[in-house]
Amino acid sequence: MKKLFDRVFDGADEMVALAEKTLADTLAELGADAPVEMPNTAYFLAIHSAYLGKNVTTLGQLDECFKTVKEWNGRTPNTSTVFKTGFATFMAAEVIEACKYAKDPNPYKDEYHGHLSDAEVRELGVPLVTDDIPGFVVIYGSAPTDQEAVDLIKGYQTRGIFVFLIGDVIEQARRLNMNMGFPVRVVAVGPDIWCVAHVISFVYRAAMIFGAVKPGDRWEFDDYTFYRIHACVNVFAPVEDIVVACGAGAIAMGFPVITNDENDMWRVPKTILIQQDTADFIETSLEARDIKIKVTNIDIPVAFSSAFEGEIVRRKETQVDCDGARFDCFELVRMKDAHEIEDHKIELIGKDFDEFEAGAEFAIGFLAEVSGKNMQPDFEPVFERNFHNFLNCIEGVMHTGQRDILRLRVSKAAYDAGFRAKHVGEVLYAKIKSEYEAVVDKCQVTIITDPDLCHELSEVAKATYNERDERLGSMTDESVDVFYSCILCQSFSPAHVCVVTPERLGLCGAVSWLDAKATNQLDQNGPCQVVTKKRVVDENVGIWEDVNEIVFKSSHGNLEQVTLYSIMQDPMTSCGCFECICGIEPFSSGVVIVNREHMGMTPLGMSFPEMASMTGGGVQTPGFMGHGKQFISSRKFMRAEGGPGRIVWMPKALKDLVGGKLDRTAKDLYDIDGFTSMIADETITEDPEELMEFLAEKGHPVLTFEPLI
């Protein structure tokens, strides 16, 4: 059997030779000045940036960097050279893929995913830090059978592991009609081994986005991937030399390789593990990378995992459809005395799913009644908001909306597997009891499909919603005695600290003041800590000595002061998973806001990824700030600089989402009607000069404000 090091060197030679030919052919076709870029990223060719510290933008620059790739491709039989050769293999793979994108900005069309955008990297921030995604696996090659391929993929998926597929395994999954795509966390990256460049690029951009690792600092990248990215590689036999070379790079990053190739692979403890039966791949991989899985045992006939949160159930796949826009639907949590509740009582009032015809549309209501000595009425809406997350983890079930505008679809596949209305109750009961065990002692769930009772209880629910909104709507930063810190994201962004207040939710959009309060009640030593606000420095701009002390402590000394209501003076840091980013527009002295979903340009001449690259990783960047969508309409948004009246541009979809609340805030602050109509969007202009003309035409209040710079 060929020596392992020789297999690495031979495989690297093969990848480098292919990259050299591909680059030469592309240069001959397009010329040295031809642009080279991956779509929707501010990090250029991320592997080259990480290893060499160079931002490659043209084929000529790529050709110049290729000299280093060949230098790194050594043959000295020692571990250091082998690992460096593995990195050279990754760079060569990125050269091959970059040439594809230089010729065609969408080379894979809809057949494969290819490059993953910065927005997709950021989207995974919250589930990574909450362990809803406990790790990643890259699966390459062809499984012994199609069924073994799908069983392996689904095994990882049901454990919440994010799956990248490369090579023939993709076609195996397609032949058995497996649902794949980024939303369900199974990504068909590409058909060839060099497509692994997109996975490595994804990993290194995570290090730059969340960890603030600087381009060119290879040792810091290795440290970050080894300790903070929990990933492993599964390769089916036979393992080619070119794959072994990629494996050397993966192992250097801290990612063990598991294979069933007993004939041509060497065993290396903790790094190259051989399992003859592919059914043993999962447990071996998790153990090798020390990936811990949250065990969720719920008595339902389909899988339950956070991997299914993005699953879409289309009309033709739907067995039953409950739409709150057309029927009296509701979801309600009510606090009760202990004697009023029978724990784990699941009751259905009305017809079950199998009593309706296929494709039926009808009303549905979810009523969860809870008791507990530490339970508080303010926790009720927190529980309700999480119904969306709980129910979307059910395979074959899609939940959208909330309150009385919810929608629930159950697929034919889930129905055929035996999923019924009572199983919705089982999920709600299990998750409420497990997620909120510190405050919930007893829980009972009622599912209602009887139309008359749905109508009656939906009216009760609406009155409850209105009562809560009035109570919570009057809650301001001044009306509470404490704020809360949140360091959930520190597993990926070690220096970042959120300070969550009633009027400023966490920048991820997922943690409100009530959420943080509930989290602290659940675990007083957990990620959300009480922050007193007794020693005021400047309440108008948001400076308290108490806040600064906990920020300094929680950021491990990286931050000395935070100004909660300013974008210019010590703004709050960002981890990288923010919903929106706000940046100064110099011509108007206003600000542009862009949400993560928007793929277009802004009047700053930068896209979301480019703006987002200005912040993140726990650093303070005056003039740029990550934040949640709902903070835009807050009276505390940029209060130090004049408030939301500074907003001059944001995407139309975002305007439509926050417009109603923003208009009410502007009316209160500036006595302006229809303020949102004064804000430009991509349908009006992306040009700064045209933006100024639009603002002047509309009489935008920012034109009367003092300059920011």
**What pLDDT digit, counting tens, does each position of 165-182 carry?**
999 999 999 999 999 999
Number of domains the chain contains: 3
| Same domain assignment for residues 31 and 133 | yes
What is the rounded distance in angstroms from the CA atom of residue 564 to the CA atom of residue 544? Answer: 9
279: its two tokens: 């059914």
What is the rounded distance in angstroms from the CA atom of residue 383 to the CA atom of residue 374? Answer: 14
What is the rounded distance in angstroms from the CA atom of residue 398 to the CA atom of residue 662? Answer: 30
Domain extent at residue 424: 312-469
DSSP 209-239: HHH-PPTT-HHHHHHHHHHH--EEEEEPSS-
> What is the distance, to the nearest Å, from the Cα of residue 476 to the centroid of all Cα atoms in its chain?
29
Q: What amino acid occupies position 194?
A: W
Q: Is 300 within the bounds of a domain?
A: no
User: Which helix (H) or strand (E) segment is 442 a member of?
Assistant: strand 442-448
What is the rounded distance in angstroms from the CA atom of residue 251 to the CA atom of residue 18? Answer: 23
| Same domain assignment for residues 538 and 629 | yes
102: its two tokens: 């230089």
| Same domain assignment for residues 284 and 362 | no
Q: Which residues contact 14 (CB under 8 A, 6 or more apart)?
A: 241, 242, 245
User: Residue 209's domain is classified under what CATH number?
Assistant: 3.40.50.2030
Q: Is 204 within the bounds of a domain?
A: yes
172: its two tokens: 């195996």
| Same domain assignment for residues 461 and 488 | no
Does residue 472 carry a pLDDT above 80?
no
**What pLDDT digit, counting tens, does each position of 82-123 carry?**
999 999 999 999 999 999 999 999 999 999 999 999 999 999
Mean residue pLDDT of the chain comes to 95
Residue where the block lists tokens 């300013």: 566
**Is 324 within 8 Å of 409 (Cβ atoms)?**
no
Instruction: Flag whether the pTM goes above 0.85.
Output: yes
Q: Which residues of 293-326 are buried (b: 16+ CB within 10 A; e: fewer)?
A: eeebebebebbbbbbbbebebeeebbbbbbbbee
Q: Is 304 within the bounds of a domain?
A: no
Which of 469, 492, 522 corresponds to the end of one domain? 469
Q: Is 607 within the bounds of a domain?
A: yes
Which of 469, 490, 518 corresponds to the end of one domain? 469
**Is 440 within 8 Å of 372 (Cβ atoms)?**
yes
**What pLDDT digit, counting tens, does each position of 395-449 carry?**
999 999 888 989 999 999 999 999 999 999 999 999 999 999 989 999 999 999 9
Q: Is 307 within the bounds of a domain?
A: no
Average of per-residue pLDDT across 191-215: 96
Average of per-residue pLDDT across 493-519: 92
Residue 148 confidence class, pLDDT cut points 50, 70, 90 = very high
